[in-house]
Amino acid sequence: MDSISDDRQQRITVLAALIILCIVFSVGSRYFLTVDNILLTLYQTAVTGITSYGILFVIITQAVDLSLGSTIAVGGCICAALLTKGVPAFVAVGTALICGAAIGIVNGFCVAKMKLPPFVATLGMQMVLRGLVLVATNAKPIYLTEGNFKQFAQYKLFDLIQLPVIYLILLGLFSWFILRKMVIGRHLFAVGSNEGAARLSGIKVDRVRMFAYGYCGVMAVFAGCVLTARVNSGQPTIAVGYEANAIAACVIGGASMSGGKGTIGGTILGAIIMGVLLNGLNLLSISSNWQTVATGAVVIGAVYLDRMRHLKES
Amino acid sequence: MGEVILEMRGITKEFPGVKALNQVHFAVRRGEVHALIGENGAGKSTLMKILTGIYKPTAGELIYKGKPFFPNDPKHAQTEGISIIHQELNLLNDLDVAENIYISREPRKYKNVLIDDKRMHESAGKLLKRLGLDIDPYEKVRNLSVAQKQMIEIAKALSVDSEVLILDEPTSALSEKEVQVLFGIIRKLREENVAIVYISHRLEEFDQIVDWVTVLRDGSYVDSCSWKEQTIDNLVKQMVGREITEQFPKRHAKIGEVVFEAKDITQKRLLKKVSIQVRAGEVVGLAGLVGAGRTELARAIFGADHIESGEFLLGEKSVKIRCPDDAIRSGIVYLPEDRKKDGVFLDQSVAMNITIANLRAYAKNGVIREGAYQEAIQEKIQDLRIKTPSVSQLAQFLSGGNQQKVLIARWLCRNANVIIFDEPTRGIDVGAKYEVYSLINRVAENGAAVIMISSDMAEILGMSDRIVVMCEGKVTGELNGAEATQEAVLHMASDTNKDMRKVV
């Protein structure tokens, strides 16, 4: 069996699922297949997509980052707090991104150096970060009354495409480049495929793990800044459970929780499926509580399919 | 020898793009030891996986005890009396011997609610006695030697009344003495009318136990006949389809200065002040029994494990080696004993497997230059004659010999000057073995210093310029390769002469 044809088959299955989903929703709602709605869906997909690029790096190293949602909130609030102090937007975003990298590296340190299971380490971090952001903001939103930061998410290119869609594409290309074309990308796959062999091949496994988590943190914070611009405020309680959407996007896109496998192309498709699902449920006026149920079910289903694939291979 | 208990007729198995088995015939009689031989990739494992229900055949039938038989899975095969003992042992280290033997079939008491611990350990004890083994059923499996673990696997198979017992490469990890114990058990089982399928590359051991032999080549049946009517040369010819004139190729290396020296390496209980040196162009064979500390020494030199004290010298210069990366940068590389666990990235491409340790050489500012990268892969595949349909083939679909070649290619990319081979030909077929030996010779001829760990006595004697023998974490002797004899090596390996001898 060839690895490429295997990936392609996977990609076709996912595309088929997407098309079926679209058909179902376009039957259910006349508004679904309009240009406005398609762009809106992509806009809503951006946050899931960008965070899923980050978590894909972690998943490829056979780990997971459950602190993603909290990291988004922390990043968004740091950005907002700096903006209210009158700091220029690029400095605010830049500082937040550096904090994101630091959070990721702490995650990576817990997993690589302290040898904690990724699940436990990042679950702990999830609570630590959420707690910290609530303490720091007194659990109140930081409103951006002055300035024009909302343009960071709401500006429309050619009066049509919102910037987050552009971020989704550019960061996708950037992540693809790292994974496919750079040495560190290959090292990510090596560590996830066989950590022992990676070490015996001279790869500094700990550094690779910290890089993956650091990248994930940066992507999460970037998404956090986008969210801050979207709602024009730093929300300490935002993005709860977003890690589930990101993990689902990766796994639907062919990444394996057993490590060593995953593509950016697949992950984008996965993110779009998640986006279309939520958008469609919205249009069918299904309550957001039920949407949460649907997301959870999709996560379980996608990971189950991944396990089945894995079992079949070995 | 009794009647035919199991027959496989016209077995064909196709995988996408590959015909792994083509019309294979295989029949075993009660009370016979039936060797199944062939190069890696010849289809032995596939055939056994069909027999134990892991794969379904594309065509063909199984006749078991006179009736057609279709095993659904290994458990089904086992309840019908067909058991397999894999090369990789499947025991749970934290449970004791009896618990391992009766796992998931523990004897019960009080209406099947509780496990009858006493009865379980008693019957395990009886079983072990029947096999002539002196192992306490209460002992934790963790504390057993590899050989003892293998015996436990056999006991486990017998506890379900196996009538056909398949042994896959059972002697590859055993010392000479342990092999004899195993053979004793096999003979006992033969007397009890068990049919034994014996898969092994070690033809020289066959004289002691094998009755009948079936040869496979490239997924096809070649021949099946009584062992006594065959010569090893003839069998090897049938296996590889051509004649192999010499087992070990000649080496024309000029032995130079000492390139590398390890001094007084000490590691908690495992290594006690071990010193070893190698010269340019020299192949030093590192002999010893399993557990003598050879792999531990190699891993210590490579920085894979921490050491308490000792010094490494490259030429005259002392080097610090704290992790494999340090070793690789100093030009020291290590090919691990357990290829699948420590060497190959099974779910990654051949290309990735070859280049992973040397990516920076094909990269500029961390970005891989596709041209140089592809070129290096193609060159290595051709140079080492790695058999693969494409560079994107996943490593798990290569044969053991080709996987080993991929690992050698990985390190040839690095132009290392000290290369440690740990059991370089374990589980590799005859034809590929010769190629691996040629590759070892080639690196030595190019001036690299080679340390070769091996439990295969013929290999140690046939390949080494010098032989260093270890026993219980110490170097117990050193022999000149040309003059060494099996007896001398074994003597030192079991440390029967206590005074340290130094030749050279």
Q: What is the ipTM of this complex?
A: 0.86
Residue with tokens 């892991």: B54
Q: How far is the alpha carbon of A175 from chain B, nearest alpha carbon, in Å?
A: 13
Residues of A with Cβ-Cβ distance to B345 under 8 angstroms? 189-190, 193-194, 197-198, 260
User: What's CA A94's distance to the chain center, in Å?
Assistant: 19
Taking an 8 Å cut-off on Cβ atoms, the answer to whether A194 and B394 are in contact is: no
- One-letter amino acid identity for B120? M
Average pLDDT over residues A250-275: 91
Q: Do B342 and A182 touch (CB under 8 A)?
A: no
pLDDT of residue B242: 60
Residue whose structure tokens are 């062919």: A254
Beta-carbon separation of B344 and A194 below 8 A: yes
Q: Which residue has the higher pLDDT, B103 or A170?
A: A170
Looking at the complex, does the CB of residue B371 fall below 8 Å from at least one CB of chain A?
no
Interchain proximity B17–A183, CB inside 8 Å: no
Mean pLDDT value across chain A = 90
Instruction: Name which of A81, A75, A52, A58 is nearest A141 in CA terms.
Output: A81
Q: What is the pLDDT of residue B17?
A: 60
Give the range among A16-25, A51-60, B166-175, B448-457 with minimum mean pLDDT: B166-175
Topology given in CATH for the domain delimited by B246-331+418-423+449-504: Rossmann fold (3.40.50)
Euclidean distance between CA atoms B159 and B146, whole angstroms: 20
Average pLDDT over residues A229-253: 91
The whole-number pLDDT of residue A2 equals 42
Q: Which of A9, A194, A261 to mutate to test the interface with B (most CBs of B within 10 A)?
A: A194
Strand-strand pairing, B18-29 and B4-15 = antiparallel
Mean of pLDDT values over A155-168: 88
Residue B498: predicted pLDDT = 43
CB contact under 8 A, B359 and A199: no
A184, A197, A202 member nearest B345 (Cβ): A197
Question: In the predicted model, what is the mean pLDDT of residues A295-310?
Answer: 82
Chain A partners within 8 Å of B302 (Cβ): 200
Q: Global pTM?
A: 0.77
Sheet holding B332-335, edge to edge: B332-335, B418-422, B449-453, B283-287, B466-471, B474-480, B501-502
Flag whether pLDDT at A124 surpasses 60.
Answer: yes
Average pLDDT over residues A2-19: 72
Please report the pLDDT score of residue B499 as a whole number: 43
pLDDT at A4 over 70: no
What span, in angstroms and rounded, lies between the C-alpha atoms of B46 and A19?
40
Structure tokens at B79: 């309840």
Q: How confident is the model at residue A1 (pLDDT cuts 50, 70, 90)?
A: very low
- Considering only CB atoms, A193 lies closest to which of B347, B360, B367, namely B347
Cβ separation of B368 and A181 shorter than 8 Å?
yes
Contact B88, B96 (CB under 8 A): no
Residue stretches of chain B with pLDDT short of 70: 1, 16-18, 40-41, 242-246, 495-504
Extract long-range pairs of A230-234: CB within 8 Å, 24+ residues apart.
A230/A150, A230/A153, A230/A154, A230/A164, A232/A143, A232/A144, A232/A149, A232/A150, A233/A80, A233/A141, A233/A142, A233/A143, A233/A144, A234/A76, A234/A77, A234/A78, A234/A79, A234/A80, A234/A81, A234/A137, A234/A141, A234/A142, A234/A144
Distance of residue A3 Cα from the nearest chain B Cα, in angstroms: 6
Give the pLDDT of residue B244: 53
Give the chain B residue whose CA is nearest to the CA of A2. Answer: B393
- Alpha-carbon distance of A219 to A250, in angstroms, equals 14
Over its C-alpha atoms, chain B yields an Rg (Å, rounded) of 24
User: In the A/B pair of chains, how many CB contacts fall below 8 A?
Assistant: 92
**What pLDDT sits at residue B500?**
42
pLDDT of residue B178: 78
B86 touches chain A (CB under 8 A): no
Domain B4-240 has CATH 3.40.50.300: yes
Closest Cβ–Cβ partner in B327, B329, B348 for A193: B348
Amino acid at B302: F
- For residue A192, the chain B residue with the least C-alpha distance is B345
Work out the average pLDDT over A267-295: 89
Predicted local confidence at residue A7, as pLDDT: 67
Residue-wise pLDDT tens digits, B390-410? 888 889 888 888 888 999 999
Where in chain B are all domains bearing CATH 3.40.50.300? 4-240, 246-331+418-423+449-504
Per the CB < 8 Å rule, is A182 touching B343?
Answer: no
